[in-house]
């Protein structure tokens, strides 16, 4: 299953529909169809934009999904940063590609109707009865959202067949391409716009729109001029491969952050101009922190840091409630979210996230003395060399060694291969070949790793649990992660108690290499799958931090409790993807 595709789950809101027929197969690509696509592509992009304008994003993000999402004017998620620390989406498309204001919806609707009138003739009632029936692929869990899409397009007479598919079958249905439009989300693993841009290259297996593929491969309709950015690239009416692919390759090799981010804005411009993607909503996570608590922050990936937390007026412990369940504390198998919060306090990698006094986040060295630039080799690979801090130790007093990373990374990569989660390791040489990773220990304190190419977000990966060390003699014991008596880790805290799906106790690790920055002696991590209970216990003072709130109370909390309620833009976007092989104009 594609782990980057996460279904729009809002169980309390979304209703399932059944009985939808399977759509017909994608037409065979021929020289004739390629010519038709070439001629009609600009009009098809125009029509898809019009259909996107008919969707009221403020209703989707604020009402239908009840506070867990916000309206999305662009594709790159709200939590992704720009080069200067601002939000990337705020600088996209001169204010966004779609206006999400409720006040502008009538303007959007009128604009959409005008565009559609260029290509289809409204009947006496004003409906576009000659518009072909569209097939909308939708996961069953998002049935009500799919129903809204049908209704929104049906207002102007566009017929939509809603094809609801069980979650376990959804990836296969996406790959089959039996749809005009499909409801998807994408979640970034790192704070970089590339997480939302690389999937659309012509050779990407995740290019669900078939941009630059099939009949669309020869559509020479795109322009690209990078001369003002210092590159000898100028293409007029080129194919997707000649423009978007070239632009992405240029971004990957660009060493100037400001230029690189400007080029990524250009890439999103090009993608949105193609009409292949229609953004709908951004994930926005609400959470609560007591007024007396300071020094707590969330990383772009939604991981809480309590390392430097403090409580005004004293106190040496912190009570936190995270979303249950937490199935494992094994860094190699941590699946994100609140589980990563726990793992990030028990283990320390080469790097970690840190927040400065102005609230800006950055990746800084942790077990490594520094985070050096990579050395580009003659074959284009890049080698990094890290020297471990001499004071870095395991909780039982043994020294942390470079070989611990070699063992842990190869173990994590093997687990990722078995589970189909290669996005975290595919950039390390050896992973795609199915061999041992190109990582080796040089003595006891020096680690060397070789990547297949430049990876701008490499330091962020080093701060993720998958890249944390584990010791071979410790993890060979069955059930090691659930046994506090046998627990050995190298993070700011150690495991001292675990009542499954109820309470995890963490105590300060006295052997931690940076122990003077750890202020709390104990973290009591309560686990709950009831946001309502989490909120009630926060209000009565039992919890000082809770990681989520009831979605339907988001607006109320935002208005009534701004001193304790926070809402962070996440790294997830819900969007419609259009199958470029399925044309919307009537074929004569």
Secondary structure of the chain: what % helix, strand, coil (to 5)?
Answer: 35, 20, 45
Distance, CA of 130 to CA of 120 (rounded, Å)? 7
Distance, CA of 118 to CA of 49 (rounded, Å)? 13
Distance, CA of 49 to CA of 98 (rounded, Å)? 9
Q: Residue 31 above 60 pLDDT? A: no
What confidence score (pLDDT) does residue 37 get? 60
Phi, psi at residue 373, to the nearest 5°?
A: -70, 150
Distance, CA of 346 to CA of 481 (rounded, Å)? 11
**pLDDT tens readout for residues 121-152:** 999 999 998 999 999 999 999 999 999 999 99
User: Cis bond leading into 325, ω under 30°?
Assistant: yes
> Cβ distance 483 to 474 under 8 Å?
no
What number is the average pLDDT over the span 79-94? Answer: 90
Distance, CA of 365 to CA of 388 (rounded, Å)? 10
Percentage of the residues of the chain whose pLDDT score is greater than 70: 93
User: Which residues are within 8 A (CB) of 423 and not within 5 positions of it... i.e. 6 or more apart?
Assistant: 3, 4, 189
Distance, CA of 163 to CA of 143 (rounded, Å)? 9
| Residue 327 Cα distances to 338, 343, 375, 414, 480, angstroms | 11, 12, 39, 19, 13
Q: Residue 28 above 60 pLDDT? A: no
Distance, CA of 248 to CA of 328 (rounded, Å)? 37
**pLDDT tens readout for residues 484-515:** 778 899 999 999 998 888 999 999 999 999 99
What confidence score (pLDDT) does residue 390 get? 97
pLDDT confidence band for 337 (50 / 70 / 90) = confident
So where are the chain's domains?
Answer: 31-218+275-283+572-578, 291-563
Report the 10 Å Cβ neighbour count for 365. 18
User: Which residues are within 8 A (CB) of 376 and not within 5 positions of it... i.e. 6 or more apart?
Assistant: 382, 454
pLDDT confidence band for 423 (50 / 70 / 90) = confident
Burial letters 315-331, b for 16+ CB under 10 A, else e = beebbbbbbbebeebbb
> Cβ distance 317 to 331 under 8 Å?
no
Q: For the domain 291-563, what is the CATH code? A: 3.40.190.10
- What is the β-pairing status of strands 277-289 and 565-578? antiparallel
**Burial (0-12, 13-18, 19+ Cβ within 10 Å), 114:** exposed
pLDDT confidence band for 9 (50 / 70 / 90) = very low
CATH 3.40.50.720 for domain 31-218+275-283+572-578: no
């Amino acid at each position: 299953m594609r782990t980057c595709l996460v279904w729009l789950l809002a169980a309390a809101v979304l209703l399932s529909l059944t009985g939808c027929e399977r759509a017909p197969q994608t037409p065979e690509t021929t020289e004739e169809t390629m010519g038709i696509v070439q001629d009609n592509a600009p009009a098809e992009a125009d029509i898809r934009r019009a259909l996107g304008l008919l969707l009221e994003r403020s209703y989707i993000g604020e009402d239908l999904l009840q506070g867990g999402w916000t309206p999305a004017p662009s594709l790159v998620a709200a939590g992704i940063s720009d080069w200067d620390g601002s939000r990337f989406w705020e600088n996209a498309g001169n204010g966004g590609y779609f206006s999400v204001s409720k006040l502008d919806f009538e303007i959007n609707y009128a604009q959409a109707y005008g565009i559609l009138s260029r290509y289809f003739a409204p009947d006496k009632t004003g409906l576009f009865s000659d518009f072909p029936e569209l097939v909308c692929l939708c996961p069953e869990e998002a049935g009500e959202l799919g129903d809204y899409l049908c209704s929104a397009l049906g207002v102007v007479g566009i017929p939509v067949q809603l094809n609801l598919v069980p979650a376990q079958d959804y990836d296969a249905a996406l790959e089959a391409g039996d749809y005009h439009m499909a409801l998807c989300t994408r979640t970034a693993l790192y704070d970089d716009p590339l997480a939302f841009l690389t999937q659309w290259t012509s050779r990407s297996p995740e290019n669900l729109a078939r941009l630059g593929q099939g009949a669309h491969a020869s559509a020479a309709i795109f322009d690209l001029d990078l001369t003002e950015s210092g590159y000898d690239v100028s293409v007029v009416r080129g194919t997707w491969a000649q423009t978007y692919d070239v632009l992405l390759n240029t971004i990957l090799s660009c060493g100037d952050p400001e230029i690189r981010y400007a080029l990524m804005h250009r890439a999103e411009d090009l993608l949105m101009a193609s009409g292949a993607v229609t953004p709908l909503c951004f994930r926005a996570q609400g959470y609560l922190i007591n007024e007396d608590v300071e020094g707590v922050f969330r990383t772009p990936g939604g991981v809480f840091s309590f390392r430097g937390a403090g409580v005004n007026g004293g106190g040496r412990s912190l009570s936190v409630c995270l979303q249950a369940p937490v199935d494992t504390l094994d860094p190699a198998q941590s699946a994100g979210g609140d589980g990563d919060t726990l793992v990030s306090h028990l283990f320390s990698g080469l790097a970690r996230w840190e927040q400065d006094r102005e609230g800006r986040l950055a990746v800084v060295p942790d077990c490594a003395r520094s985070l050096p630039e990579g050395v580009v080799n003659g074959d284009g690979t890049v080698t990094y060399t890290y020297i471990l801090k001499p004071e870095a130790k395991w909780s039982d007093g043994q020294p942390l060694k470079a070989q611990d990373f070699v063992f842990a990374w190869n173990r994590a990569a093997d687990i990722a291969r078995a589970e189909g989660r290669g996005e975290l390791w595919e950039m390390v040489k050896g992973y795609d070949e199915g061999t041992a990773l190109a990582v080796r220990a040089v003595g006891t304190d020096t680690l060397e790793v070789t990547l297949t190419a430049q990876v701008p977000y490499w330091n962020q990966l080093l701060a993720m649990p998958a890249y944390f060390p584990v010791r071979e003699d410790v993890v060979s014991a069955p059930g090691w992660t659930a046994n506090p008596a046998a627990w050995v880790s190298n993070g700011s805290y150690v495991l001292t108690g675990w009542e499954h799906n109820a309470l995890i106790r963490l105590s300060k690790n006295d052997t931690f290499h940076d122990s003077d920055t750890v202020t709390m002696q104990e973290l009591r991590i309560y686990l709950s799958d009831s946001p309502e209970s989490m909120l009630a216990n926060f209000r009565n003072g039992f919890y000082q931090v809770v990681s989520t709130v009831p979605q339907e109370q988001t607006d109320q909390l935002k208005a009534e409790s701004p001193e304790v309620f926070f809402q962070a833009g996440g790294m997830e976007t819900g969007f419609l993807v259009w199958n470029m092989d399925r044309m919307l104009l009537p074929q004569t």
